[in-house]
Chains A and B, each alone.
Chain A
Amino acid sequence: MMILTIAVRNLLHRPLRSITSWLLLTCASGMLALLLLVQAQAGRQFEQNVAGIDMVLGAKGSPLQLILSSVYHIDAPTGNIPLREAQPWMQHPMVRAAIPLSLGDSYQGFRIVGTTPDYIRHYGGQMAQGRMFRHSMEAVLGSAVAARYHLGIGDRFNGMHGLGAEGHVHEGHPYTVSGILAPAGNVLDQVILTSLNSVWDIHDHHHQEEEEHHTEAGEPASDSARQVTAVLLQFRNPMAQLQLPRWINTHTRLQAAVPAIEVNRLLSLMGSGIQLLRLIGWLLMALAACSIFFMLLQSLQERRYELALLRSLGAGRARLLALVLTEAALLGVAGIAGGYLLSRGILAALQPGLAQQFHYVLQHWWQPGAGEAGIALLVLLVCLLAALLPGIRAFRLNISKTLSHA
């Protein structure tokens, strides 16, 4: 207890030096914690949303883009495909389930997804209020959408053409909220769901009114010319995974993308960036360790009279060693706490942007992750290691010599 008090006083007595070491430790441990968090969060989100989807069918283009747009609702869609061309695959004997999606409209940055109730079931959505959409122009809101705009059952809103902030508003075709979903912890929270018919109806009407959109969806509306943006498919057996995508990509005008492959590719792209950041984190950590080492060494050099004095007052050598180690450990603990707050602060600052741009709400981000215990332990270990040499010098101090050279 006495040692702890002296250690705290010593650190506070030389605030500039202590703060420098603390800041370095905070930055290093905060950075490493942040990287761990981002990686864990990104991995979890990506895996949760891809669960159970074996293949995505869509228009030709970048397979990654197709996955991002249809599964994660982040990138722009690759284009539309005629429903009748997709239908043979949706009814293929190797396919267990197929969910068509029609994208392209949004409301205040949240995407409107034309689909079937199967989509909500697939992501485990539960109705919090109201009921599933039954008729055209009825919509079910994800929990985050409803919360953000305080929409309730029976409220009406106008969809907007396009996915950006600016776009043509579909005046005169308001959606009516029929249901609101309970938070599902996945992409479902961030979208507005409606029937395929709603999207088709809006755009049929739209094409009659506005000539310029002909190029986009060309043909007049009829059942045979219905279009969808993508189809999410689930296979009956793994064999299909090997055969179907390749066959579709070589022999049809459609594109088949496998989410597992694309997500892995994306994570490995992100990985190299994270690797670099991690390297910087480790460098900071090494710098912090050096700083503590020199700080303790220098301050002990200045304080060697104090240490000799403590010995002459009756403190044993073990106590002096304990004092030096305690000072380092205190800095370490302060650094761990600072790093925790720093990483959470950065996440909290990023959160609104992430929610807006990527439709992701980080989950349980304030909780210490398993990896963070490792970081904390490491920081403490680094501090103690840096203090070991100065501590040993204190342990072996020649008191008589030190005191007579006053």
Chain B
Amino acid sequence: MLQTTHLQYHYGQRAFTFPPLQCSAGEVLLITGPSGSGKTTLLHLLAGLLLPDAGEIRIDDTVINNLPVAQMDRFRGRHIGIVYQQSHFMAALTVRDNLLLAARLARQPAASKQVAVLARALGIHQLLRQYPARLSQGEQQRVSIARALLPAPPLILADEPTASLDDDNCMAVARLLQQQARQQQAALVIVTHDNRLKALFHQQTAMPEPQAGLAALPL
């Protein structure tokens, strides 16, 4: 499903070389490493939000490096679901409309029934009429997962999905993510420095140590 060669990217003076990755449908790949090791950068490369300097990203038999911007946006909508560390929502829309919007943007219009089934599985069915700002962080993260899963993309990318959650919520969210991805036969890539997750998933890739001491977040 997902295959990469050695990817390279740089911000100013700082250069990253990432290990090659491989993740098949229904599998979970955990990419671990301390902050500053370029995990978020790698995730943005995989999502086509950034372009690598060198290397190739192949998703579902499509090399995404060379897609034009508009086509990349469309490809991302249909093939990649993203769960962010901090959940972002359309503040003016209810939870239900946020979910439906994601499905429509992915050109996989979802029926209310589909939303209801997924929401029940994630334990957020009673929150559908709420506005996102009203939800707790754990609830927001679940909605965020529901949004990534609803269009049934073949690849799900999760960026520190559990960083802001307490232990109970962390375990619940990680299990839900794994369960639902397996059910949909999606490849799931989780980027994290959260040690609690390392115990849950077996397939792991560690990020190489940063070459300089400075944090290397995209600027």
Contact = CB atoms under 8 A, between A and B. Distances in A.
B88 A406 contact: yes
Nearest to A309: B88
B212 interface: no
A6 B101 contact: yes
Nearest to A312: B82
Contacts, number: 76
Interface string A293-320: 0000000000101101111111111100
Contacts of B106: 313-314
Given A404-B44, A404-B218, A314 B92 contact: no
B74 A316 contact: yes
Given A403-B84, A406-B86, A312 B91 contact: no
A91 B219 CA distance: 95
Interface string A388-406: 0000000000011101101
Interface in A220-275: none
Given A316-B74, A406-B85, A2 B104 contact: yes
A312 to B, nearest CB: 6
Contacts of B47: 312
A10 interface: yes
A229 to B, nearest CB: 69
B73 A315 contact: yes
Contacts of B74: 314, 316
Looking at chain A's contact residues, is the secondary structure mostly helix, strand, loop, or mixed? helix
Contacts of B92: 6, 9-10, 12-13
A298 to B, nearest CB: 14
Interface string B36-61: 00001000100101100000000000
Contacts of A311: 73
A13 B92 CA distance: 5
B85 A313 contact: no
Interface residues of B, number: 33
A121 to B, nearest CB: 66
B67 interface: no
A406 B69 CA distance: 23
B77 A309 contact: no
Contacts of A401: 218-219
Nearest to A399: B49
A30 to B, nearest CB: 28
B90 A309 contact: yes
Interface in A1-54: 2, 6, 9-10, 12-13
Nearest to A311: B73
A314 B44 CA distance: 14
B82 A6 contact: no
Contacts of B69: 316-317
A310 B77 CA distance: 9
Nearest to A303: B91
A317 B90 contact: no
A146 B47 CA distance: 80
Contacts of A317: 69-70, 73
7 nearest A-B pairs in the assembled complex, by CB-CB distance: A314-B77, A13-B92, A406-B86, A9-B92, A400-B49, A314-B105, A309-B88
14 contacts: A2-B104, A305-B88, A306-B91, A308-B88, A309-B89, A310-B90, A312-B49, A312-B76, A312-B82, A313-B101, A313-B106, A314-B77, A314-B78, A318-B70
Given A309-B90, A313-B106, A406-B88, 8 more contacts: A303-B91, A306-B91, A308-B88, A309-B88, A312-B76, A313-B76, A314-B74, A314-B78
